[in-house]
Amino acid sequence: MAAVLAGRRVQPLIVDMVRRLRERPAKLGLRPDNRISSLLAQCIIDEIQVPPDLLRDAFEWIARSTREETSVIRRLYVARYGQILADTVSAAYMSSETNVGNLGGALANIALTRLGWSQDTGLTQELAERLSSLMKSREAVEKASGALAAMHIAYLSSGSGAPQTSCRREHHSQDCWAR
C-alpha cells in the first residue's frame, strides 16, 4: 500500500526490485526469490504508477522468477494489466533461451486462468476440447500455451504437484482428484 501512496516516486523501488529479480537467477546455484516477485506483483495489482516499459519489464521478471505452483501469475492476470502480462510473457517465452521453465509455467497459468480452470474443476470434456483447440492453433505461442496448460493439469492430477488434502491423506490414492 505504501508503494501505491508513493505515486510516481515508487519507480526507483520498482526498478530495484526488478534488478534484484534479474540478478538473482544469474548467481550460481540460487533459486528465484518468490518473496520479491510476490511483493512486486502485489504492487502492480494495487495499481502503482509506473511507465509501460517498466511495467512490462516487471512482468517479465516476475514470470521468469516465479515458480510455477504459485498463484502470483494468476492474480496478476485477472488484475487490471492482465493482457499486458499475457503479451509480455508470450513474447519472452517465444524469444528466450533462459528461464523457459518458469516462463512456460507462467504461460500455462495464464492459459488456464483464461480458460476458467481451477484444481477444483478438474479436466472436463469442454476444457479438453479447448486445450486441443489451442494446440491446433496456427500461432506457435497458442500451441505452446495449450500444451503447457495440459502438462500442468496432468502434473497436478498425477499427485506429484498436488497439495496435501484430507482426501489424499485418508485414501492414499490418486482417484481423489476425479471426485
Amino acid in position 112: L
Determine the number of helices (DSSP H) and then strands (DSSP E) in the chain.
Answer: 10, 0
pLDDT per residue over 4-41, tens digit each? 555 667 899 999 999 999 887 544 444 555 788 889 99
Altogether, the residues listed in the chain come to a count of 179
- Inform me whether the pLDDT recorded for 139 exceeds 70: yes
Which strand (E) or helix (H) includes residue 91?
helix 82-95
The mean predicted confidence, pLDDT, of the chain is 82
Residue 162: pLDDT over 80: no
Residues 140, 166: Cα–Cα separation, whole Å: 40
d(CA 41, CA 37): 6
Dihedral (Cα; 93, 116, 136, 141), 10-degree rounding: -10
Q: Phi and psi at residue 55, in whole multiples of 5°?
A: -60, -45
Q: What percent of the chain has pLDDT over 90?
A: 58
Query: Nine-digit cell at 145?
Result: 500455451
Quickly count: other Cβ atoms within 10 Å of residue 1's Cβ: 8
Q: pLDDT for 43-88, tens place per residue?
A: 999 999 999 999 999 999 999 988 766 689 999 999 999 999 999 9
Q: Give residue 128's Cα distance to chain centre.
A: 20
Cell of 151: 502438462
